[in-house]
Amino acid sequence: MTGAAENGSAERVPSIVVLDYGSGNIHSAAKALEAVGADVTVTSDRRAAMDADGLVVPGVGAFKAVIDQLRSVRGGEIIDRRLAGGRPVLGICVGMQVLFAHGVEHGHDAEGLGEWPGTIERLKAPVLPHMGWNTVNAPADSVLFDGVRDERFYFVHSFGAQQWELEASGPFAAAKLTWADYGGPFLAAVENGPLTATQFHPEKSGQAGMRLLRNWVQSLPVHAA
């Protein structure tokens, strides 16, 4: 799949791998990414996942089930090695949650990937799951939310990250944090160098979600084929 720049020169389309590790919602994410101009492959192949310009890790269901499925295809190792090389990764829903150190569901503490410190816990709202549209509070310098800071996004979850524990140090810039509220504040999205994640489903969030995915795709450094 190729595109053309306005001056007529060839311009390579960003390549995206949607990591197929047995979780649901894989193909809807892939279709949304294709619709915003990416060349998308759905696979668990390690080499393809390492070589792509961007890696997307969707996830639905329970934290422990998702982390177990992810580890079965060495997904944690793929994510870690990509990030070590500064290559972008986008986590969606439980694909965001498993990036944290721990997830506590029904009293069981499951170990996450540990890319960020902190624990995923049950939201404090009286009615769960948090299902439907909600506004978010994105920072002014967010790349992800450029043009959609005042829009609503679609959430389906009962657990989330309710605090941010990673402190910026040395040459590393502070993460850009986007918050939402449902019974109390929780993280709706994080932009942390090459690692980006959303608690909501951009692929189910209408035109606002499509714009957000386009923002991410267009931010990717495209490597030579």
- Stretch 203-210: mean pLDDT: 98
User: Across all residues in the chain, what is the average pLDDT?
Assistant: 92
Q: What is the pLDDT of residue 8?
A: 40
What residues contact residue 214 under an 8 Å CB cut-off, 6+ apart?
A: 36, 37
Q: What is the pLDDT of residue 225?
A: 57
Match 């992800």 to its residue by tokens.
144
Q: What is the pLDDT of residue 165?
A: 94
Question: Does any domain span residue 24?
Answer: yes
pLDDT digits (tens, 9 = 90+) for 107-125: 789 999 999 999 999 999 9
Rounded distance between C-alpha atoms, residue 70 and residue 98, angstroms: 9
- Residue 75 lies in domain: 2-219
- Stretch 172-178: mean pLDDT: 89
pLDDT digits (tens, 9 = 90+) for 8-65: 445 789 999 999 998 877 899 999 999 999 999 999 999 999 999 999 999 999 999 9
Question: Does any domain span residue 112?
Answer: yes
Q: What is the pLDDT of residue 171?
A: 60
Based on the number of CB atoms within 10 Å of its own CB, is 218 exposed (0-12), middle (13-18) or buried (19 or more)? middle
Q: What is the pLDDT of residue 224?
A: 63
Question: Does any domain span residue 96?
Answer: yes
Strand 15-19 versus strand 185-192 pairing type: unpaired
Question: Does any domain span residue 225?
Answer: no
Question: Does any domain span residue 175?
Answer: yes
Q: What is the pLDDT of residue 223?
A: 72
- Stretch 58-75: mean pLDDT: 94
Question: Does any domain span residue 11?
Answer: yes
Percent with pLDDT over 70 in the chain? 93
Residue type, 44: S
Question: Does any domain span residue 90?
Answer: yes
Picking from 207, 182, 209, 185, the residue whose alpha carbon sits closest to that of residue 198 is 209
Active site residues: 93, 201, 203
**Residues 185, 175: contact at Cβ < 8 Å?**
no
Rounded distance between C-alpha atoms, residue 102 and residue 110, angstroms: 6
Is the pTM higher than 0.75? The answer reads yes
Domain count, the chain: 1
Question: Does any domain span residue 224?
Answer: no
Q: What is the pLDDT of residue 1?
A: 39
Q: What is the pLDDT of residue 106?
A: 79
| Reported confidence tier of residue 222, pLDDT bands at 50, 70, 90 | confident
From residue 19, alpha-carbon distances to 56, 65, 87, 120, 162 in Å are 6, 16, 15, 22, 26
CATH number, domain of 67, equals 3.40.50.880
- Stretch 179-201: mean pLDDT: 98
